[in-house]
Chain A
Amino acid sequence: MSSLSRDDVAKLAGLARIEMTEAELVELSSQFGLILDAVARVQEMDLSGVKATSHPQPLENIARPDVVLPSLSPEDALSGAPAQEESRFRVPQILGEAE
């Protein structure tokens, strides 16, 4: 039976930036076993030679012309901001570095 340990879940929660309580981690880990078994069924089939579909419709080359259209006003852009200063979004101290 495939499963994810509590530590596995903790690592994934870190990647997904979701803080989780110990109880949440344990609960998720226990539920995952069942789900993973179910989804592991996809590996039962012989999929060699089958192409993957990432799109239901065979659309290609959809693009837009290089034309400028009106942007949001800065008031609208910032309308949902939890915090702002001088027309910029104010965010807490960033620990990591940019890519």
Chain B
Amino acid sequence: MIRNTAAQMADALAKGETTSVELTQAHLDRIAAVDGQVKAFLHVDSQGALAQAKDVDARRAKGEKLSPIAGIPLALKDVLAQKSVPTTAGSKILQGWLPPYDSTVVSKLKAAGVVIMGKTNMDEFAMGSSTENSGYGPTFNPWDLTRTPGGSSGGSAAAVSAFEAPLAIGSDTGGSIRQPAALTGIVGVRPTYGAVSRFGLIAYSSSLDQAGPFGRTVLDTALLHEVMAGHDVKDATSINAPVPAVVAAAKSGDVKGMKIGVIKQLQGEGYQKGVQTRFDESLQVLASLGAEIVEVDCPSFEYALAAYYLIAPSECSSNLARFDAMRYGLRTGDVDGASAEAVMSATRDAGFGREVKRRIILGTYALSSGYYDAYYGSAQKIRTLIIQDYAKAFTKADVLVSPTAPTTAYKIGEKVDDPMAMYLGDVATIPVNLAGICGMSLPAGLADEDNLPVGFQIMAPAMQDQRLYQVGAALEAALLTKWGAPILSKAPELKGAK
């Protein structure tokens, strides 16, 4: 049952072939069997999940009209506030914190009857690309438990990849949904900035953050996307427009006559051979389906990484100032006579990990007087150039594409002491965040040299998210025919698995 897609599960629920309680219990059993190895979850809310499942079953029995994914279990990245459920953002500084309110995304999930099974592991405050920066230990890639699942939404991606949940939610500030999706062989989407409410999303970089859906198929991901997106009056950066018709697009999957733009700067040198090979093949597949492949030039993208690593730390240095031991979270150093200032500083030293401290200091520097124009100010101008390059490219193509990540999943510990090497992994995903547009990663196959998943990235203009699903569905269907079975069927079986 757990190997089905969410769409198939929804069908079974609708037909009465199974109940949400059965479905949820099956997934809780799977988690119990394999999460000791994968470590995708920080907190499993069995009681809460089964109660939610029971409630949905009752509503369905009464004949209530329900959302298409009502009753389906889901894994939630621990970056979203869920009332009375431990929410840590992967940080020790929030250990034990129980939010007194629900984020808007959680409210929408509850209203739709989706069953939230638990909170997943992540790089601390979403800063990282491997989930190794979690304050609670790393998550392991179900494809190879010695490797990372990517990050920062590594827990959510691993949970879906390991069949612990058919659906999951992550957040993507520099690629943190798309890159883990690529490294774990699943689908992940970073919606247009402003399409999903950030109210209750613990902030890392406010102008770049966006929550988004994971699924094992393009359609599953679309079903979740439609439920979680939408305007929110509590988020001033939220777009007041209808959610693009992503489910319809996922069902149509027709690329005939579409122009597909390959970004010159995001491929070739610096990209692992196997990654490039799978990418080129996917292009051929799309061409064979009737799409036209064109090349586009986005020169400012060379500076995207640098701009990101100025903007994101600057915003985060300010966003994380609220963690000061005064109103919630960790408090340490509160010994006789210690001042509030001393307690703040001691707590932030104890509660924040190395990468978070690194970015806060970098951000503090980039914003400090005398440096603003050279650093933060300049980075915001690069952003304008990136937006302009995308705008130009989108006059030549309906969607733009690239490999999602330059490499496949790397070994745990390999890059954790080399921040620059880690940052380079985001080179293909970051431009999307800087421009505020939408992007998807879906499986393009396995790299020949290591048999590890490779991701294919599709990018579309702001509020044209349905194009992602249209092209994604077409490619997915064609590749499925080519492979004979979904890519995940090639993943090694986990010990203790049923």
Which residues from chain A sit less than 8 Å from chain B, CB to CB? 4, 8-9, 12-13, 15-21, 24, 28, 31-32, 34-35, 38-45, 47, 50-57, 59, 62-64, 72, 76-77, 79-83, 89, 91-96
Q: Which stretch in B71-79, B370-378, B448-456, B478-486 binds the other chain? A: B370-378
Given A43-B374, A56-B435: A38 and B309 interface contact (C-beta under 8 Å): yes
* CB nearest to A64 among chain B residues: B233
What residues of chain B lie closer than 8 Å to A31, measured between beta carbons?
A: 358, 419
What separation, in Å, do the CA atoms of A13 and B317 have in the docked complex? 11
Chain B residues in 8 Å Cβ range of A24: 349, 357
Q: Does any Cβ of A come within 8 Å of B394's Cβ?
A: no
Question: In the docked arrangement, what's the CA distance between A80 and B341, Å?
Answer: 19
Q: Give the 7 A-B residue pairs with the shortest CB-CB distance, closest first.
A: A56-B436, A80-B328, A52-B380, A82-B331, A19-B345, A76-B100, A19-B349
Taken together as a complex, chains A and B put the C-alpha atoms of A15 and B348 apart, in Å, by 12
Query: What A residues does B236 contact at CB under 8 A?
Result: 59, 62-63
B306:A38 contact, CB within 8 angstroms: yes
- A28-B361, A42-B379, A89-B326 given; A17·B340 CB < 8 A: no
Q: Does B346 contact A (CB under 8 A)?
A: yes
Q: Which of B303, B331, B380 contacts A53 (CB 8 A)?
A: B380
Given contacts A56-B462, A79-B98, A80-B97, contact A42 B365 (CB under 8 A): no
State which of A13, A53, A95 has its C-beta within 8 Å of the C-beta of B387: A53
Chain A residue with the shortest CB-CB distance to B323: A17
Known pairs A16-B348, A80-B98. 5 more at Cβ < 8 A? A12-B368, A82-B329, A82-B331, A91-B326, A93-B340
Residues of A contacting B333 in the complex (Cβ-Cβ under 8 angstroms): 19
- Whole-angstrom distance between the alpha carbons of A42 and B381 in the complex? 9
Known contacts A45-B385, A82-B331, A95-B339: A16-B361 contact under CB 8 Å: yes
Which residue, A17, A21, A35, A94, has most C-beta atoms of chain B within 10 A?
A17
Q: Check A12 against B98 for contact (C-beta < 8 Å).
A: no
Complexed CA–CA distance, A94 and B325 (Å): 13
Chain A residues, Cβ within 8 Å of B368? 12, 15
B305 surroundings in chain A (CB, below 8 A): 38
Contacts of A82 in B (CB 8 A): 325-326, 328-331, 334
Verify A81–B328 contact, CB threshold 8 A.
Answer: yes
Q: What is the bound-complex CA distance between A57 and B256, given in angstroms?
A: 30
Task: Report yes or no: A95 in contact with B340, Cβ–Cβ below 8 A.
Answer: yes
- Mask, B95-121, CB within 8 Å of A = 1, is 001101100000000000000000000
Report the separation of the CA atoms of residues A72 and B102 in the bound assembly, to the nearest whole angstrom: 12
CB of A59 within 8 A of CB of B419, answer no
